[in-house]
Amino acid sequence: QVQLVESGGGLVQAGGSLRLSCSVSGGTFSRSALGWFRQAPGEEREFVAAISRSGGSTFYADSVKGRFTISRDNAKNTAYLQMDSLKPEDTAVYYCAAVLSIRPVVDHRMYDHWGQGTQVTVSS
């Protein structure tokens, strides 16, 4: 059974940084594209970033481009989201997700497996 566990969330001041991790178990990590999504209270789930199975291709939402970096370590079955220059509007629960795909996937409806989420709060 595939399981995803996020960690690294917390409270940070505007302009600060956080690094989220997503540990994946269940044997499908190396065959999966991975994505990060976020959801603020009262809002719909929003795409943040995605990475291909090999790690060679990435895609970002315009709102985070240049500030966030998605990466993966296939030897550790772990994906990361480095978040720099954080803004109060980045406050949300952040989720990682996995789908059996070679290319990055933007549409949350395509993902098969999700983590439980980690809270990120950015104070002004």
| CA–CA separation, 84 and 21 (whole Å) | 15
Q: Is the pLDDT of residue 101 over 90?
A: yes
Q: Is the pLDDT of residue 87 over 90?
A: yes
User: What does each C-alpha distance from 71 to 16, 68, 76 come to in angstroms?
Assistant: 19, 10, 12
- pLDDT for 28: 84
